[in-house]
Structure 1
Amino acid sequence: PEDITCTNLTELLVAAPASVDTMLGLIRRLPNLVHLTVKNLMLDDVQTDISIPTGRVCEPVTPLDTKISRLTFRYSCPLYSPEQAIAVAKYLLLAIPTLTELFPGQTPKQPVLGFIAEYSK
């Protein structure tokens, strides 16, 4: 149900396969979560709009109300396109303003680092 929240939970490890939408739902329902690890993130059938503004004049990504500072995930399938993986990492960086550490599994690192450098100017 949408109304379930766990306000005292600060750390969570999800070992079962979980979609991007499920991960975002957990983040929304666990307001005091500081560290989240998802071991089998799936990119199939993502319902959330993870499009990224291409310029500074575009509408910003709506931030999630969370305290997460560390997010770790690995994809369940190594066959996802690098573009999908990069888009998810970029979206999470923009949507979670409290994020200080991101460990995006098999995501190509250079495009993500370039994105961080561009947005931190």
Structure 2
Amino acid sequence: MTNENAPPDADRVFKALADPTRRTLLDLLVERNGQTLGQLCANLAMARQSVTQHLGILEDAGLISTRRRGREKLHFINPVPLHEVYVRWVRKFERQRLDLLHDLKQDLEGDGP
């Protein structure tokens, strides 16, 4: 069953975010954007080939982009897909909770409708 309102790449984004190593890679890029494969590998206890595969999944999901600088390939975080997930699945739940808290506050203070 597919959701017609879901962004087309939402499945890829959720698959990419499901793995703790990929979340760690995103955290590393948040700390310092534009890192090389070698710089990212220095923070992980795994082979370069494994890190490359994880980066490929993140890139396929649109969560990172790359740019060549000479022989180096720099990796940059792309927050747009994360924002789309937030807007589609998180924000609406925050709004409901805040509305409930607002209504409770009014009821407790006697300012209800």
Confirm or deny a common fold (TM above 0.5): no
Q: Which has the higher helix share?
A: 2
Which range, TM-score by smaller chain? Answer: under 0.3
Q: Which has the higher strand share?
A: 1
